[in-house]
């Protein structure tokens, strides 16, 4: 399939921007589904309420997290890892709702990843002032799978660098419904989120929700 064919499949309100080789921003890709996605996220966070995890260095993260899918991402004093069980309850994570999984699979296609099968979805909640410092996503076993990131609610400034920490990151404003897909040569790029500005979103209120879908194993 040519690039033009893939582009033809995108809804008219969606644009595709290349952030770097391997990294694509699909503006508005999830916008029409926003309310249904919010319902699915509420189902997940009812089962697994948002928590502020502690980093291995002992800091409490300003972003609150929940998980769904076969594997969940965990941070504590012993490190970062994926686990099939929630260390707090000893139970499996909530199942990944079909509407979430399907969105991630569909978004990966125009970015060049035709058979993405996520087994983990990290749900991040940012309230005003919350931030995520520059990091690489490297706790997954297989870096050939991309990461699909969905932004909902208040806009945020996404910091996007290269696989070298020395390079100064670019800044991209992510809005409700925007999707970033991340893989190939960009898979280990440093990235983060600037402190969230205060505001009120019509659907989500005073917060930003970010979903990141991964193939952890």
Binding ligand MD6 (rule: CB under 6 A), the pick from 44, 147, 159, 216 is 147
Question: Which residue in this structure is represented by tokens 């594997």?
Answer: 71
Q: Cβ distance 113 to 213 under 8 Å?
A: no
Report the partner that residue 190 touches, choosing among Fe ion, ligand MD6, none (CB closer than 5 to 8 A by kind): none
The residue among 36 and 157 lying less far from Fe ion, judged by its C-beta, is 157
The residue among 45 and 124 lying less far from ligand MD6, judged by its C-beta, is 124
Taking the complex as a whole, how short is the minimal distance between the CB of residue 147 and Fe ion, in angstroms?
A: 7
The residue among 153 and 161 lying less far from Fe ion, judged by its C-beta, is 161
Binding ligand MD6 (rule: CB under 6 A), the pick from 48, 149, 172, 177 is 149
The residue among 74 and 147 lying less far from ligand MD6, judged by its C-beta, is 147
Q: Cβ distance 193 to 158 under 8 Å?
A: yes
- Integer Cα distance of 208 and 151 in angstroms: 7
For residue 101, the surrounding DSSP H or E stretch is helix 98-108
Which are the contacts of 13, defined by CB distance < 8 A and separation ≥ 6? 28, 31, 32
- Integer Cα distance of 119 and 217 in angstroms: 8
# chain residues binding ligand MD6, by CB under 6 A: 12
Report the partner that residue 67 touches, choosing among Fe ion, ligand MD6, none (CB closer than 5 to 8 A by kind): none
3-state secondary structure of 100: helix
Binding flag, residue 113, ligand MD6 (CB under 6 A):
no
- Integer Cα distance of 102 and 117 in angstroms: 9
Report the partner that residue 93 touches, choosing among ligand MD6, Fe ion, none (CB closer than 5 to 8 A by kind): none
Report the partner that residue 182 touches, choosing among Fe ion, ligand MD6, none (CB closer than 5 to 8 A by kind): ligand MD6
Binding flag, residue 137, Fe ion (CB under 5 A):
yes
- Integer Cα distance of 56 and 103 in angstroms: 32
Half-sphere CA count of 7, side-chain side, radius 13 A: 8
Q: Cβ distance 155 to 196 under 8 Å?
A: no
Report the partner that residue 71 touches, choosing among ligand MD6, Fe ion, none (CB closer than 5 to 8 A by kind): none
Taking the complex as a whole, how short is the minimal distance between the CB of residue 137 and Fe ion, in angstroms?
A: 4
- Contacts to ligand MD6 by CB under 6 A: 124, 132, 137, 147, 149, 158, 180, 182, 191, 193, 210, 212
């Amino acid at each position: 399939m040519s690039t033009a064919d893939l582009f033809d499949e995108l809804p008219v309100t969606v644009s595709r921007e290349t952030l770097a080789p391997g990294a694509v921003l699909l503006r508005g890709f999830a916008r029409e589904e926003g309310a249904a996605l919010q319902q699915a996220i509420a189902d997940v966070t009812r089962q697994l309420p948002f928590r502020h995890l502690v980093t291995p260095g002992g800091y409490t993260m300003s972003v609150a997290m929940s998980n769904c899918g076969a594997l969940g991402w965990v941070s504590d004093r012993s490190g970062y890892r994926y686990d099939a069980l929630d260390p707090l309850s000893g139970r499996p994570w909530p199942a990944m709702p079909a509407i979430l999984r399907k969105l991630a699979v569909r978004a990966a296609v125009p970015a060049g990843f035709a058979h993405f099968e996520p087994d983990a979805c990290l749900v991040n909640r940012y309230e005003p002032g919350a931030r995520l410092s520059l990091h690489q996503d490297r706790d997954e076993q297989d870096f050939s799978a991309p990461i699909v990131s969905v932004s909902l609610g208040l806009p945020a400034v996404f910091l996007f660098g290269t696989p070298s920490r020395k390079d100064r990151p670019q800044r991209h404003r992510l809005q409700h419904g925007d999707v970033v897909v991340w893989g190939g040569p960009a898979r280990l790029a440093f990235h983060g989120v600037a402190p969230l500005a205060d505001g009120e979103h019509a659907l989500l209120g005073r917060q930003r929700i970010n979903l990141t879908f991964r193939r952890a194993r």
